[in-house]
Structure 1
Amino acid sequence: MSGGIPVRCPLCRREHLYAPHVYPCSCGTPVSPPLQRGAQPLPVTYVTWEDDWVTVRCESCGRCDQWPQPELGCDCGAVLRIPVKPAASGPAPGHAPLPLHIPLPPTAPAPRPAFHPVTIRTARDAVQAAALYLRWLGYKDIRRAEQRASSGVGLIAPGLRAQVEPTTRSMSLRDIECVWLAALNDSSVPVCFSLAGYTDDARARADGLALPLFVLDLTGTPQPVNSPADELISTGA
């Protein structure tokens, strides 16, 4: 794992000490993006979903996963993208490749490491926290929905359609019904995440539709709001 490195803002020349977040690999080993020491940070002027993620290789098992791109907010208002070393392919030195599938007894629950949240400071952090949580639940290839929603941010994956409301606005009855109808149209599981919660009629409608609702706290840990959310946590994807 990478330790803290000195970072100088190229705009105001302020110096910072930056340490990347640590995430859990599927094998249970904590990993973090390997930072390029001495590399110049780049101010973020245009954001795309692809630029928000980097490939990180676990040094224990050799698995490569997508994790949030390391970034630092400077006091001058600039957002700095911290360069990361490219991930090497293949098994880790001294380790044999892990088998792709290890059969488990029919009654054994699927192993799932502890969820490691990302602190929410911005709306973008809230969307990343929801994406990380969905990946932790077992959904793969999570990406932004191509069609923009009337509010919030849409995330999709095979068999999943999620809506994230990263503002201080509570999700409404209409929001819940729109997500449910969109998921029904493509035979996906609908899920909602909200930073400010839900209106009473939205919660009642979600319960009737068996639609999982989560509230994002500022630590980045989604909290289940209704029983469908509890069930999703229990079963996973």
Structure 2
Amino acid sequence: MGGMPESVAVCCPACGREHQYAAPSYPCACGAPVTPPLDHHGTPTAVVHRAWAEEWVTVPCAACGRRGQWPYPELGCPCGTVVRIPVAGARSEPGGAEPPASPSRRRRVFQPVTIRTARDAVTAAALYLRWLGYRDIRRADQRPPSGIGLAARGLLAQVDPTVRPAAVRDVECLWLTAMTESAGCAYFSLAGFSPEARARADALGVPLFVLDLTGTPQPVNSHADALDATAD
């Protein structure tokens, strides 16, 4: 409901790591903040397959009673797993109303785009790179083995909007391509990363980001944290 965001302890179902999570608030049409009520007794689940019709939850505004549809709360665990947080009294809704951009907790406000299609995922990654300061973002000349490649001066990025976690080969191919062009790289995945891909990325210095449905890339390794910190 509305009010201050509540925080809950969330245990990753894949690696057992515990996180403190506070659900994001979205602005209702009346101007009041709306926050999905987290279920303290529910069990977090790993997102393995994406079904767009099941990604939305209906939450009433405590101020005006208007029922809005917002993305299910999720977090990216450093192990590469995307964890869905249970919502009290939740029911999925097909489609979903377009939620206005929510303020980011970063030093500058990042304006995301809601992800519903593969094109939205690419747009979200491009907007994030522009927010980091990269200009002249375009489709990469060399097509990656999976997903879509983006290029900017000094950086290659791969966006994987599929429902399977990125594999070791995906990370290695991106890194090799970036090396041949003397550029840095970053990987954006909608479904997260396999543990092997996460370990390989750590060794190669590849920043990994999980795209949540609000369109905000979530860093899942230290290299991504370092890249994210460049947005002063």
Equivalent runs, 1:204-223 vs 2, <5 Å: 204-223=199-218
**Number of the residue aligned with 2:139:** 144
Deviation (angstroms), 1:112 = 6.1
Counting aligned pairs with the same residue, the percent is 66
Deviation (angstroms), 1:113 = 2.9
Q: Unaligned regions of 5+ residues in structure 1, if any? A: 1-110
RMSD: 1.6
Equivalent runs, 1:75-224 vs 2, <5 Å: 113-224=108-219
Deviation track 1:34-82 (CA, whole Å, cap 9, x = no partner) reads: xxxxxxxxxxxxxxxxxxxxxxxxxxxxxxxxxxxxxxxxxxxxxxxxx
Paired positions, count: 127
TM-score between the two structures when normalised by the length of structure 1 = 0.52
Deviation (angstroms), 1:236 = 4.3
CA distance in 2, matches of 1:152, 1:206: 17
SS in structure 2 opposite 1:168? coil
SS in structure 1 opposite 2:229? helix
Where do 4+ consecutive residues of structure 1 move more than 6 Å?
none
Deviation track 1:172-220 (CA, whole Å, cap 9, x = no partner) reads: 0000000001111111111000000000000000011111000000000
Amino acid at match of 1:134: L
**For the Cα contact (< 8 Å) 2:108–2:231, is it kept in 1?**
no
Q: Unaligned regions of 5+ residues in structure 2, if any? A: 1-105
